[in-house]
Each structure stands twice: as structure tokens, then as C-alpha cells.
């Protein structure tokens, strides 16, 4: 049984990126995968600082979750043409996986979601794709940019656009069923 870790969220009470991630994880769960959502908005993750002698507990939790994952789904809001600072900082802490064997995200598929206030969600997707590659992961070819996300989800996180809901669930199912060539 595969374990899928979803990483996302924002510092907003109306976190469309978290809502979108929840839909994708539901899709993964429908395949029989075990899923876990790492809600960055609820964590205390200080700025990545290589001078810190003690690793914060939430950073350990994040890194341990990524280590244990067979695959990942990342979701961020689009901020000024890229990913949020909260998301980027959390991902920067994955530097702690540099000494793992295999390193970073080797042999892991990563599905990508970006929610945008307008129609430029692919800008965030593109940023995340570069990061996945730098961390030796495999980006799943299907990505989901959610345009006008503030109109797509209601205040309770319900997706009011059936097509978007289907795309998010399909992404989750696809990531859960994907496999990559194993690099040793």
C-alpha cells in the first residue's frame, strides 16, 4: 500500500491551496493509498537557517513524513508569480535529506497544484517543477493550476466547480498509481 504525503496550505483561514490538496488526497485515498496532509499553515517552521544547532520539531515531522512517503502532492497559492514564502521555506528545510540514501526525493513522484487569484497558476507550477527536479524527484506530467480559486471553493472548502474537483481527484489517483524508474 502506497503512502502519499500532501504538503501545502497557507497562513490564511481561507486556504484554497489546502482545500485543493484535500481533494487530491481524497483521490489518492480512493486507490487504497494511505494519505497524510502536512498543513504548513498549522506548523511552526522557522526560516531555514543552517546555523541552527537544534532542528525544530515541526521540521523533523516534515522531513520524516517526506522520507516515509512513496509519493508526494504539493500545493501552494500563487504569490507574485511564484510559490508562497511559507511553502518555499518548508521545502528549503528538505536540505536535511541531503545525507539520506537515496538523497532528497529520489524515486518519488510529486504531483503539483497551484491555486491562483487570477489565471496564472502555471507560474507556481513551473517554480515547483524546478524545485522537484533539483531535489531529484519526478514531477507527475498532469498538473492542476486552479484559476480564480477564491471563486472555486466556498468558505468550507467545498469545490464548487465539478471539473476542477475531478481534475484534483484524478491527480491524486494518478500520483498514487504512478511509478518511476528506480535509481540506485
Alpha helices in the chain (DSSP H): 16-29, 57-68, 85-92, 121-134, 149-152, 162-177
pLDDT tens-digit profile of 44-58? 999 999 888 899 999
Say if strands 71-79 and 34-39 run parallel, antiparallel, or are unpaired.
unpaired
* pLDDT for the residue 184: 64
C-alpha cell at 127: 517554480
* pLDDT for the residue 5: 98
Domains and CATH numbers, the chain: 3-177 (3.40.50.360)
Q: Identify the bridge partners of residue 4 per DSSP, sorted by sequence position.
A: 35, 71
Q: What share of the chain is helix, strand, coil (3-state, %, to 5)?
A: 40, 20, 40
* pLDDT for the residue 118: 87
* pLDDT for the residue 1: 86
Q: How far apart are CA 73 and CA 6, in angstroms?
A: 5
* pLDDT for the residue 179: 86
* pTM exceeds 0.85 for this model: yes
* pLDDT for the residue 183: 66
* pLDDT for the residue 181: 75
Q: Give the residue ranges of the chain where pLDDT is below 70.
A: 183-184
Amino acid at each position: 500500500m502506497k503512502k502519499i504525503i500532501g504538503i501545502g496550505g497557507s497562513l490564511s483561514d481561507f486556504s484554497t491551496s489546502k482545500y485543493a490538496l484535500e481533494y487530491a488526497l481524497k483521490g489518492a485515498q480512493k486507490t487504497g493509498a494511505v494519505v497524510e496532509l502536512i498543513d504548513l499553515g498549522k506548523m511552526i517552521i522557522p526560516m531555514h537557517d543552517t546555523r541552527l544547532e537544534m532542528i525544530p520539531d515541526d521540521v523533523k515531522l516534515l522531513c520524516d513524513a517526506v522520507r516515509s512517503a512513496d509519493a508526494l502532492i504539493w500545493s501552494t497559492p500563487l504569490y507574485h508569480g511564484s510559490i508562497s514564502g511559507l511553502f518555499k521555506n518548508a521545502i528549503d528545510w528538505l536540505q536535511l535529506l541531503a545525507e539520506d540514501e537515496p538523497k532528497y526525493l529520489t524515486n518519488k513522484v510529486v504531483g503539483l497544484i497551484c491555486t491562483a487569484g487570477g489565471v496564472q497558476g502555471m507560474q507556481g507550477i513551473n517554480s515547483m517543477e524546478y524545485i522537484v527536479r533539483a531535489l531529484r524527484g519526478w514531477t507527475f506530467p498532469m498538473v492542476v493550476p486552479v484559476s480564480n480559486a477564491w471563486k472555486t471553493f466556498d468558505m468550507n472548502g467545498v469545490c464548487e466547480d465539478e471539473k476542477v474537483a475531478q481534475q484534483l481527484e484524478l491527480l491524486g489517483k494518478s500520483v498514487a498509481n504512478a511509478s518511476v524508474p528506480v535509481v540506485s
